């Protein structure tokens, strides 16, 4: 019985008489045996036999089987422990150790990985039983792989390049090929179809792929002619040469190409604003870069379209008058593709005479001011300058009336600007307004076009049908302020007059019967319909009137508190900033507290009553939080300042009677304390009799506007120190700046 006979007998179960015939087998396979040192011929022992010899295996090929036999001599009847001591590189065997009783056989599976090195090698076995040990080094031949049939997998059968522009190349991995068989995979990739596609050979699969290996197919999509809205198609055939016919080996590719139409630049009604329009072949976004040269330097905000063929128009604003500018749009499509439009030129026009301010700018300390632009709200115009004093943008009422004012200017998140245009609010009332009177809250775009508006007459008509608790009021005019809310509502400020006497509601007990002017805040929803009203006649006592009665309240600002949804109201003729329970339109309107002389807070860090605010304007939050313990700054005009008992203002050695300050209070709503953390007391020569505001800038500096300096105004940026240094100053001659504030740029979210 030779080794092959033994293996066949083992596989078929024909092993009867094995013990009697093993000696004959061992003699035939003597060349396979390696006998170790052991006892003498008369001692019990065993012979370790392995067949076939040699074993031939193919890298990446099928598993082969070895048969291991233990033949006893001189009556040996024990169990032998067999261990595979070593294997050639890339060769594996299972099981690698086992127990084998004398006279029995065991099969071991042997295979070679695709990376095994062809050649002659050996598998080392060690067999032990007690003190008896036998070793054999079994020969193995690792053959060279044969180019027979193999198998392969393809990661996908289709690939979409998506949208592309002509003369622009997109390179993509369109498929991954894996050799899942035991022989090298033969390949011959080719392309058919639209010539916009080409294989990048240096990055793609070659002519052969080893077993278990993978490679990628990388294809360029470089269209030369547009196809939109149709597609450009091609087929990649991998040309697999030694697989079954059913093996997938093609990838269908598709893409859509278009030409980018150059943008169009046109003039607008604003001489310093251009309209840049792009029509995009695919969904994407546009930003316009502009400047005095083709290096540009400034950017608009980004606008987008979700529609193929969608049009995007962007106002390009922030340019000096009568100057040539360059501009070009950068496009980013939804798939990440970018493109730049050709360069366009645009020459700005002349600033309207009523907005051409006489202004100068100084930086006396040489300290870098907080970045951005300065927005100046004069009574007849809105002007934006850079920090060098160059006028970059203006707005004037298309139908100006000399006695009417632009007030309460705010930048909106949609890029437009909100304001009220109306006569001033003062008592006694001037009587009926002329037929062409303007009294409206207005939203305009950067070109100066009115986007939407509501007149006082329209609002009064709406109030007749509104259902809110305090909607039964007739308004006189808008004035001073309008505040946009995060939900798209507007809080508009208007006045109303009520005839008061000792028997009226509310009663007027310490003055003769008369018509009193007070204020009303109206919450307008997104459709400019009134949904909440707060009437000061329902919440304040008209018998308290520190100044200018019967112009009883003269409210000038509404500040929204995002932390609790309530509002702060600056009431100039009460010398108070009050907090009102607005609660995002569901509040009672109750006054939660009053800040100022005679109010609810204890003044700390200053002299009471002198260092409270008087006839104040323009409060704003100076801290990120707006409730609990927070900071609030404002313009303290100081018109009717009160001094401590025994102090006669204006006397020798005493403070002047009329002077203004810029206080910043740290408010503790729970403890009811107001601590002065900044307090710049201005010289009497800079007494600001009306208007103005105070803001905290991005760099921590304080900016304030001294509006009522005769017929002029000064805007200062100062350091927030106990001895403030002026960092930046703008002097405006010949007109008053009701408010002024620093803005990042003319575009929401864009810092210049």
Dist. CA 636–CA 346, nearest whole Å? 44
Q: Give the SS3 label for residue 604.
A: strand
Position 309 pLDDT exceeds 90: yes
Tell whether omega for the bond before 54 is within 30 degrees of 0, i.e. cis. yes
Position 238 pLDDT exceeds 70: yes
Contact, 742 vs 723, CB < 8 A? no
Q: From edge to edge, which strands make up the β-sheet containing 119-129?
A: 55-57, 132-142, 119-129, 79-86, 97-101
231 and 279 in a single domain? The answer is no
Select from 303, 330, 347 the last residue of a domain.
Answer: 347
24 and 124 in a single domain? The answer is yes
Position 530 pLDDT exceeds 90: yes
Q: Once rounded to an integer, what is the mean pLDDT over residues 259-288?
A: 97
Burial of 140 (0-12, 13-18, 19+ CB in 10 A): buried
Q: From edge to edge, which strands make up the β-sheet containing 170-179?
A: 152-154, 170-179, 214-221, 197-199
280 and 251 in a single domain? The answer is no
Dist. CA 696–CA 419, nearest whole Å? 22
160 and 239 in a single domain? The answer is yes
170 and 125 in a single domain? The answer is no
Comparing 31-40, 111-120, 376-385, 563-572, the range with the smallest average pLDDT is 31-40
∠ Cα 321 324 326 (to 5°): 120
10 and 129 in a single domain? The answer is yes
- pLDDT grade for 113, boundaries at 50, 70 and 90: confident
Comparing 68-82, 209-223, 352-366, 629-643, the range with the smallest average pLDDT is 68-82
pLDDT at 6: 38
Q: Has residue 289 been placed in a domain?
A: yes
Contact, 738 vs 405, CB < 8 A? yes
pLDDT at 426: 81
pLDDT in tens, 201-215: 999 999 999 999 999
Share of the chain above pLDDT 90, in %: 82
Q: Has residue 529 been placed in a domain?
A: no
Select from 347, 378, 395 the last residue of a domain.
Answer: 347
pLDDT at 165: 97
248 and 269 in a single domain? The answer is no
Contact, 737 vs 705, CB < 8 A? yes
Which of 586, 542, 541 shows the shortest CA–CA distance to 567? Answer: 586
- Of residues 621 and 20, which shows the higher confidence score? 621
pLDDT at 394: 98
3-state secondary structure string across 79-108: EEEEEEEECCCCEEEECCEEEEECCCEEEE
Q: Sign of the CA dihedral 613, 617, 623, 625?
A: positive
Q: Has residue 402 been placed in a domain?
A: no
Name the H helices within 340-490. Answer: 456-463
Q: Has residue 695 been placed in a domain?
A: no
Q: Has residue 431 been placed in a domain?
A: no
Mean pLDDT rounded to a whole number for the chain:
91
Residue 465's CB is within 10 A of a number of other CB atoms, namely: 9
Token reading at 665 = 């209070």
Which of 254, 253, 258 shows the shortest CA–CA distance to 165? Answer: 258
pLDDT at 146: 60
Q: Has residue 702 been placed in a domain?
A: no
Q: Once rounded to an integer, what is the mean pLDDT over residues 665-687?
A: 98
Q: Dihedral of the CA atoms 507, 513, 516, 521 (nearest 10)?
A: 20
Domain count along the chain: 3
Select from 199, 231, 258 the last residue of a domain.
Answer: 258
Position 492 pLDDT exceeds 80: yes
Dist. CA 62–CA 110, nearest whole Å? 9
Q: Has residue 358 been placed in a domain?
A: no
pLDDT in tens, 626-636: 999 999 999 99
pLDDT in tens, 718-748: 999 999 999 999 999 999 999 999 999 999 9
pLDDT at 400: 65
First-to-last CA distance in the chain?
A: 96
pLDDT at 401: 66
Which of 695, 696, 697 shows the shortest CA–CA distance to 705? Answer: 695
- pLDDT grade for 218, boundaries at 50, 70 and 90: very high
171 and 135 in a single domain? The answer is no
Instruction: Give the β-pairing of 170-179 and 693-696.
Output: unpaired
pLDDT in tens, 132-184: 998 889 899 998 766 678 999 999 999 999 999 999 999 999 999 999 998 99
**Which CATH number belongs to the domain containing residue 245 in this structure?**
2.60.40.10
Which of 31, 294, 259, 63 shows the shortest CA–CA distance to 138? Answer: 31
**Residue 53 lies in domain:** 3-142
Position 436 pLDDT exceeds 70: no
Contact, 639 vs 574, CB < 8 A? no
Tell whether omega for the bond before 52 is within 30 degrees of 0, i.e. cis. yes
Residues in the chain: 752
Token reading at 390 = 């160059």
49 and 169 in a single domain? The answer is no
252 and 172 in a single domain? The answer is yes
234 and 162 in a single domain? The answer is yes
76 and 196 in a single domain? The answer is no
Which of 551, 550, 547, 485 shows the shortest CA–CA distance to 522? Answer: 485
Q: Has residue 462 been placed in a domain?
A: no
Q: Whose structure tokens read 């000399």? A: 402
């Amino acid at each position: 019985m030779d080794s092959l006979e033994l293996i066949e007998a083992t596989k078929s179960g024909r092993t009867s008489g094995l013990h009697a015939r093993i000696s004959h087998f061992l003699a035939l396979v003597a060349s396979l045996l390696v006998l170790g040192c052991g006892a003498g011929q008369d001692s019990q022992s065993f012979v370790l036999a392995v067949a076939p010899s040699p074993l031939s295996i193919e890298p990446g090929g099928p598993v082969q089987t070895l048969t291991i036999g233990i033949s006893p001599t001189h009556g040996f009847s024990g169990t032998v422990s067999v261990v595979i001591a070593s294997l050639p590189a890339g060769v594996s065997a299972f099981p690698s150790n086992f127990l084998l009783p004398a006279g029995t056989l065991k099969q071991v599976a042997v295979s070679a990985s695709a990376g095994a090195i062809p050649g002659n090698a050996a598998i080392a076995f060690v067999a032990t039983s007690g003190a008896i040990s036998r070793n054999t080094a079994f020969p193995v031949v690792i053959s060279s792989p044969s180019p027979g049939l193999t198998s392969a997998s393809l990661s996908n059968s289709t690939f979409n390049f998506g949208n592309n522009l002509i003369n622009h190349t997109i390179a993509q991995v369109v498929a991954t090929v894996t050799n899942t068989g035991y022989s090298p995979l033969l390949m011959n990739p080719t392309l058919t179809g639209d010539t916009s596609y080409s294989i990048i050979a240096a990055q793609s699969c070659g002519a052969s792929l080893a077993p278990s290996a993978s490679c990628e197919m990388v294809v360029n999509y470089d269209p030369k002619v547009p196809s939109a809205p149709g597609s450009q198609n091609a087929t990649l055939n991998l040309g697999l040469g030694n697989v079954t016919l059913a093996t997938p080996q093609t990838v269908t590719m598709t893409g859509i190409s278009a030409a980018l139409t150059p943008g169009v630049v046109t003039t607008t009604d604003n001489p310093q604003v251009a309209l840049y329009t792009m029509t995009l072949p695919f969904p994407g976004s546009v930003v316009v870069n502009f400047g005095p040269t083709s290096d540009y330097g400034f950017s608009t905000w980004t606008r987008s379209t979700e529609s193929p063929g969608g049009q995007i128009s962007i106002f390009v604003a922030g340019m000096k008058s009568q100057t040539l500018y360059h501009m070009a749009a950068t496009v980013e499509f939804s798939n990440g593709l970018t493109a730049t439009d050709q360069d366009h030129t645009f020459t700005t026009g002349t600033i309207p005479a009523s907005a051409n301010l006489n202004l100068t700018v100084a930086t006396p300390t040489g300290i870098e001011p907080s970045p951005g632009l300065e927005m100046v709200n004069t009574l007849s115009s809105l002007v934006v300058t850079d920090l060098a004093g160059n006028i970059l943008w203006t707005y004037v009422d298309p139908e100006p009336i000399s006695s009417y004012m632009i007030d309460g200017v705010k930048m909106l998140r949609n890029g437009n600007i909100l304001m009220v245009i109306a006569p001033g609010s003062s008592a006694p009332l001037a009587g009926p307004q002329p037929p062409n009177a303007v009294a409206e809250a207005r939203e305009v775009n950067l070109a100066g076009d009115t986007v939407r508006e509501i007149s006082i007459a329209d609002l009064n008509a709406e109030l007749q049908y509104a259902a809110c608790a305090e909607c039964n009021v007739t308004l006189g005019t808008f004035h001073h302020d309008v505040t946009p809310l995060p939900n798209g509502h507007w809080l508009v400020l208007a006045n109303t007059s009520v005839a008061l006497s000792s028997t009226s509601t509310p009663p007027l007990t310490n003055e003769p019967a008369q018509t009193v002017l007070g204020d009303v805040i109206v919450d307008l929803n997104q459709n400019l319909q009134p949904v909440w009203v707060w009437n000061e006649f329902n919440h304040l006592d008209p018998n308290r009137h520190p100044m200018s009665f019967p112009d009883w309240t003269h409210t000038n600002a509404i500040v929204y508190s995002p932390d609790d949804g309530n509002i702060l109201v600056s009431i100039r003729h009460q010398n108070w900033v009050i907090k009102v329970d607005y609660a995002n339109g569901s509040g009672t309107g109750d006054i939660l507290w009053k800040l100022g002389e005679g109010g609810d807070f204890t003044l700390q860090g200053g002299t009471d009553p002198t260092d409270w605010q008087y006839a104040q304007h323009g409060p704003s939050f100076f801290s990120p939080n707006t409730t609990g313990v927070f900071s609030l700054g404002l313009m303290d005009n100081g018109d009717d300042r009160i001094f401590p008992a025994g102090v006669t203002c204006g006397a020798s050695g005493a403070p002047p009677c009329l002077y203004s300050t810029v206080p910043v209070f740290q408010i503790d709503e729970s403890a009811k304390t107001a601590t002065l953390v900044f307090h710049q007391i201005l010289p009497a020569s800079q007494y600001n009799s009306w208007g103005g505001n105070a803001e905290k800038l991005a760099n921590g500096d304080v900016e304030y506007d001294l509006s009522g300096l005769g017929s002029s105004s000064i805007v200062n940026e100062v350091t927030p120190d106990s001895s403030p240094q002026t960092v930046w100053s703008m002097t405006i001659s010949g007109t008053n700046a009701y408010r002024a504030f620093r803005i990042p740029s003319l575009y929401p979210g864009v810092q210049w």
